[in-house]
Amino acid sequence: MSDTSSPGGAAVPPGEPPPRTAPPALELRSITQHFGSFRALRDVDFRVEAGEVVGLLGENGCGKSTLVKVLAGVNTPDAGGELTIDGRPVPLPLSAGQFRDLGLSFVHQDLGLARTLTVTENLMVGEAGAAASRKPINWRSQRRRTRALLQSYNVDVDPDLPINQLPPVGQALVAIVRAAEELKAYRARGDVGHSILFLDEPTVFLPEDQVEFLFELIRTVVAGGASVVFISHDLAAVRAICDRVVVLRDGQVAGEARIGEVDDRQLVEMIVGPVGGKLVGQAQRRAPGDDLGDAPPRCTVQGLRGGRATGISFAVRPTEIVGLAGLLGSGAEDVPYLLFGARKATAGRMTLDDREIVLPVLDPTTAVRQQVAMVPADRRRDGIAPSLSVGENATILVNDEYTQAGRLQGGRLRELVRRQLERFDVRPRNGNALMGTLSGGNAQKVVMAKWLEINPRLLLLHEPTQGVDVAARAEIYRLIREASTGGMATVWVSSDFEELATVCDRVLVVADGEVRAELTGDEVTDEAISSAVYHHTTDAAAVLADEVPTAS
Amino acid sequence: MSTTELQTGAADQGAGPEKPPTPHGGGGFAVWAERLALPVAWLVLVVIYGALRPDTFLTWQNVSNIIASQVVLLVLAFAALMPSFVGDFDLSLGGILGLTAMVAGVLNIQQEMNIWLACAIGVGAAVVAGALNGLFVVYFDTDPLIITLGMGTVFTGAIFYLSGSNTIVGIDRALSEATFSTKFLGLPLQFYYALVILLIVWYVSSFTPLGLRALFVGQSRDVAKLSGIRVTRLRWGGFILGGFIAGIAGVLLLGTTGSADPTASGGFLLPAYAAVFLGATSIKPGRFNAIGTAIAVFFLATGVNGLQLLGAQNYVQQLFYGAALVIAVVLSRQLRRRA
């Protein structure tokens, strides 16, 4: 048993079985997994009782997904591990697709949807019998059935749209519905005792209002007799829905607890370890006494239209961090891209110091030249070049300043990268490592390092801590606050209101494409932001319906 | 289908946040073995052929023959590198090469134009052809594979139209003297021209911000766009420079053969891309690079030459080149998957 610290008195030592009579729905014992010389999992025990919702927690790179992929038949663990399902031993490794026979269903981080096929086509794939069926497909009745199916889950997406034209949240909902249907099919088949649904970071794509929907769905699944494994960084969500949590750290089980018996601080300490825990939860608000006063704005935005923004105006003062809060479809999420020229605004002006920028003709090259920085939400697609090195990623914006007679100065660049990695605490401290091998938190730190290197006058952030572990998240808050003291104006768009409350000096509530309210000073709290957002959003539930494709 | 997707597709899969760090990161034997696999394979070929046919294979005459005969292909491979760097494909480069040779040939013979002016106009035509590719692919945002396949066929049609399907013979000997027939250290002058192009491409791609920016565009186009890199401009540049260098290859071909044969350019494109992809498995594995490409050209030429000396028929060339392209693409795919 790989026992480690068992932080918090309430934590149950791992491995100690709770009183029970029936065998667990699923039990993994002594799972070790090497990738080359790298050990991703070490002697991990993991158990799911029938009808239980288990939270699987841990920082990025701690081995959560690796463990799940053992059950999905993707990873081949080292010899010596055992798997029992309903008390029945099942030999490891599992073959691809075997999880279906065992009654397991997965919603992976990348959702596993066919992006160019329609919602209807994607939902058909999971249907039992569809593959074996030789009957011609009656598309009209298929569409009708899909519509009814989506309605039964209260999901409002157009069955005829291809997946890649849905917003991320719509995509996530389709994936989850498909998995839930898969569970139903297992039960209908009748040859599995317990079906288990694995949700890998399901809340990453979901704004606050849709998370409740997810919980509803999980409850339905559990009421139907299934178990759920819930993998997440979102402690609030874990707390709301899980019965028990298992925490992985550096590939080992770091602790295990019933959810009612630990508080957030203890959970965080389990996740990041005793040292990292100190950083977490510390607000990165403006230091007391450091008053913005009557400083003139560094950046003003007037009449911004484009995407779902129908006329947004605001100003940001030097060193100020302004949060934009809004539900999906409010228009807030379009603002960073419009102000950066990554999407074309239809109207609007921005002043930056004394320079006037006409937004509809702005392009990213000009934006960067004006020292505007933007950290996009979709890190994997828009933020990092995974096949290039960490150093190349971190210095792409400034490398032309490190030249002599047009030739890159390797030595000075390496020195710069070394300083960046040190300052942003990127692990490993290896500028030659490929970007794609970094964990989410470290990758995001490199993205921050890259942008802060141009000394931005305006920093635009969209969900900058999505898929980032707790410790790295705190680190990112600190780094941005630190950078802003140099006079940088920051616009922070996030659907995580707790995050906004942690870092922002001022929060603007965006609804229906306009700024509807402003929260300042002591008003900037998680609760106040949520209630303002819901108060001002006229038709929160109907937002999904008129979602339009925005990705270029 | 395009190089970009080929690359980002593989990269996306590898970019999961919990993907374990690859065991080899810094130096180490495995890395060097990978980098040097192609040069070593080349040496092995030389040793084997040398042992089997010491009298014919290991003669200076054979060596200089291999080198001299590959210059046009080498230059065309550099042309193919240009769009490849920024994640595009240009399958019309063979057509552009032939078009340049034919335009220059027709102007020189039928219009009795000065050979240098004729060559300059031929290269100009190549640049225009490259710009047309840029227009259709970049400006109209279409799939480079299909567009350049179509454009290549258009160029081939133009070659036959210009030549009336005849070989244009009797090109001014001055061209041949400036490229092929004059030797320096036993090798034709055009080999040194190719070396100069190699050095420029290598230097710019490896040691300048421009090269790094092109690399970003080729490997992660969206990231490049959101980093303020002028993606569109660099992609235009890839097609136009590719056309320009293919034009130079066309002039060298005209000088080498002393005639403009409408069918001559057909066989160059595939080995050029074979060399580009094979080159990407070596020196800087996973990246298109000039030195790897050059080594690959001579690796392929040596392989074919040795087999022919061992008595193989001419078709062995196609077998070898075709297989090399397939193997190179499979290998580089594996490299990326691991990376």
The answer to whether the Cβ–Cβ distance between B215 and A440 falls below 8 Å is: no
B247 to chain A, closest Cα gap in Å? 27
What structural domains and CATH numbers belong to chain A? 22-58+74-94+243-277 (3.40.50.300), 279-284+295-371+456-552 (3.40.50.300), 382-454 (no CATH)
Asked, for residue B144, whether it belongs to a domain, the answer is yes
Q: Touching check for A95 and chain B: CB below 8 Å?
A: no
Both tokens of residue B312? Answer: 């193989």
CA geometry: angle at A463 spanning A457 and A467, to 5°? 130
B231-257 and B209-219 are packed helices; what angle lies between their axes, rounded to 10 degrees? Answer: 100
Test mutation, A70, A396, A426, A430, chain B, max B CBs within 10 A:
A396
- Burial readout B269-288 (b: 16 or more C-beta within 10 A, e: otherwise): bbbbbbbbbbbbbbbbbbbb
pLDDT of A207 reads 67
Closest residue to A436, CB basis, from B11, B209, B215 = B11
In DSSP terms, A382 is beta-bridged to none
Both tokens of residue A276? Answer: 């990292």
**If we measure between CA atoms, which residue out of B104, B92, B97 comes closest to residue B264?**
B97
Asked, for residue B27, whether it belongs to a domain, the answer is no
For residues B248 and B123, the answer to whether their CB atoms sit within 8 Å is yes
What is the rounded distance in angstroms from the CA atom of residue A361 to the CA atom of residue A162? 30
What is the rounded distance in angstroms from the CA atom of residue B192 to the CA atom of residue A173? 61
> Is the backbone peptide bond immediately before A93 cis, with ω within 30 degrees of 0?
yes
Residues in CB range of A351: below 8 A, 6 or more apart:
A297, A299, A300, A357
Handedness of CA A113, A116, A120, A125 (dihedral sign): negative
- Burial readout B189-215 (b: 16 or more C-beta within 10 A, e: otherwise): bbbebbeebbeebbebbbbbbebbbbb
Q: What is the number of domains present in chain B?
A: 1
Asked, for residue B20, whether it belongs to a domain, the answer is no
Element (H, E) at A472: helix A470-484
For residues A474 and A498, the answer to whether their CB atoms sit within 8 Å is no
**Backbone region of residue A371 per phi and psi (left: phi > 0; alpha: psi in -120 to 50; beta: other values):** left
B63 to chain A, closest Cα gap in Å? 35
Test mutation, A378, A388, A416, chain B, max B CBs within 10 A:
A388
What is the rounded distance in angstroms from the CA atom of residue A516 to the CA atom of residue A69? 45
Please tell me chain B's helix, strand, coil percentages from 3-state DSSP, rounded to the nearest 5.
Answer: 75, 0, 25
A299 to chain B, closest Cα gap in Å? 20
The answer to whether the Cβ–Cβ distance between A408 and B229 falls below 8 Å is: no
| Strands in B182-287 per DSSP E | 183-184, 187-188, 259-260
Helices H, strands E: what count in chain A?
16, 22
Both tokens of residue A61? Answer: 């790179």
Q: What is the full per-residue pLDDT of chain A (552 aa) written as tens digits? A: 444 444 444 444 444 444 556 788 889 999 998 876 667 888 999 999 988 999 998 776 678 888 888 888 888 888 888 898 888 888 888 887 788 888 888 887 777 787 778 888 878 754 444 555 566 777 777 788 888 888 887 778 888 888 888 877 788 888 888 888 888 888 777 777 678 999 887 766 666 667 777 888 888 888 878 899 998 877 778 888 899 999 988 788 988 889 888 887 788 778 776 654 444 556 677 766 666 767 889 999 999 999 889 999 999 999 999 999 987 678 899 999 999 999 999 999 999 998 999 999 999 999 999 999 999 988 878 899 988 999 999 999 998 899 998 899 999 999 999 999 999 988 888 999 888 888 888 899 999 999 999 999 999 999 998 778 778 888 899 999 999 999 999 999 988 888 898 899 999 999 888 999 999 988 888 878 877 877 776 543 333 334 433 433
Asked, for residue B250, whether it belongs to a domain, the answer is yes
**If we measure between CA atoms, which residue out of B130, B96, B80 comes closest to residue B279?**
B80
What is the rounded distance in angstroms from the CA atom of residue A489 to the CA atom of residue A299? 7
- Burial readout A299-317 (b: 16 or more C-beta within 10 A, e: otherwise): bbbeebbbbbbeebebebb
pLDDT of A290 reads 66
Q: Touching check for B212 and chain A: CB below 8 Å?
A: yes
The answer to whether the Cβ–Cβ distance between A436 and B14 falls below 8 Å is: yes
With beta carbons under 8 A apart, name residues in chain A contacting B227: 364, 368, 396-397, 450
For B297-336, what is each residue's pLDDT tens digit? 999 999 999 998 888 888 888 898 899 888 888 887 776 6
Asked, for residue B264, whether it belongs to a domain, the answer is yes
Closest residue to B223, CB basis, from A37, A384, A428 = A384
Q: Touching check for A411 and chain B: CB below 8 Å?
A: no
In DSSP terms, A509 is beta-bridged to A325, A517
What is the rounded distance in angstroms from the CA atom of residue A307 to the CA atom of residue A495? 17
β-strands B183-184, B168-169 pairing: unpaired
Residue A370 CB-half CA count within 13 A:
26
For A277-309, what is each residue's pLDDT tens digit? 444 556 677 766 666 767 889 999 999 999 889
The domain containing residue B108 runs over which residues?
A: 3-14+51-338
What is the rounded distance in angstroms from the CA atom of residue B249 to the CA atom of residue B243? 10
The answer to whether the Cβ–Cβ distance between B18 and A382 falls below 8 Å is: no
Asked, for residue B45, whether it belongs to a domain, the answer is no
- Burial readout A235-248 (b: 16 or more C-beta within 10 A, e: otherwise): bebbbebbbbbbbb
With a cut of 70, which residues of chain B have pLDDT below it? Answer: 1-28, 335-339
Q: How many beta-carbon pairs below 8 A join chains A and B? A: 137
Give the strand order in the sheet containing A252-258.
A104-107, A196-200, A227-231, A53-57, A244-249, A252-258
Residues 21-80 of B with CB under 8 A from A: 21-26
Asked, for residue B25, whether it belongs to a domain, the answer is no
Both tokens of residue A246? Answer: 């298992």
pLDDT of B217 reads 95
Burial (CB count within 10 angstroms: exposed 0-12, middle 13-18, buried 19+), residue B182:
exposed
Closest residue to A365, CB basis, from B18, B23, B228 = B228
What is the rounded distance in angstroms from the CA atom of residue B114 to the CA atom of residue B254? 14
Test mutation, A60, A434, A444, A452, chain B, max B CBs within 10 A:
A434
With beta carbons under 8 A apart, name residues in chain A contacting B208: 403, 406-408
What is the rounded distance in angstroms from the CA atom of residue A432 to the CA atom of residue A38? 18
Q: Touching check for A13 and chain B: CB below 8 Å?
A: no
Test mutation, B6, B7, B13, B18, chain A, max A CBs within 10 A:
B18
Question: Which CATH number fits the domain that encloses residue B174?
Answer: 1.10.3470
Residues in CB range of A156: below 8 A, 6 or more apart:
A150, A542, A544, A545
In DSSP terms, A33 is beta-bridged to A41
Closest residue to B11, CB basis, from A60, A367, A387 = A387
For residues B87 and B218, the answer to whether their CB atoms sit within 8 Å is yes
For residues A521 and A305, the answer to whether their CB atoms sit within 8 Å is no
* Mean pLDDT, all residues of chain A: 82
What is the distance of C-alpha A135 from the center of its chain? 41
What is the rounded distance in angstroms from the CA atom of residue A141 to the CA atom of residue B177? 75
B19 to chain A, closest Cα gap in Å? 6
pLDDT of A129 reads 42
β-strands A53-57, A244-249 pairing: parallel
With beta carbons under 8 A apart, name residues in chain B contacting A200: none
| Tokens 């001055």, located at residue | B174
Q: For A369, which residue in chain B has the nearest alpha carbon?
A: B228
Q: Touching check for A391 and chain B: CB below 8 Å?
A: no
Closest residue to B339, CB basis, from A38, A430, A434 = A434
pLDDT of A287 reads 66
A295 to chain B, closest Cα gap in Å? 30
Burial (CB count within 10 angstroms: exposed 0-12, middle 13-18, buried 19+), residue B32:
exposed
The answer to whether the Cβ–Cβ distance between A434 and B22 falls below 8 Å is: yes
Both tokens of residue A127? Answer: 């249907």
With beta carbons under 8 A apart, name residues in chain B contacting A386: 11-12, 14-15, 220
Residues found in chain B:
339
Distances (CA, A) of B250 to A541, B179, B196, B277: 64, 12, 17, 22
β-strands A227-231, A196-200 pairing: parallel
Q: What ipTM is given for this predicted complex?
A: 0.81
What is the rounded distance in angstroms from the CA atom of residue B339 to the CA atom of residue B335? 6
Asked, for residue B36, whether it belongs to a domain, the answer is no
For residues A455 and A369, the answer to whether their CB atoms sit within 8 Å is no
Q: Touching check for B199 and chain A: CB below 8 Å?
A: no
With beta carbons under 8 A apart, name residues in chain B contacting A36: 20, 22-24
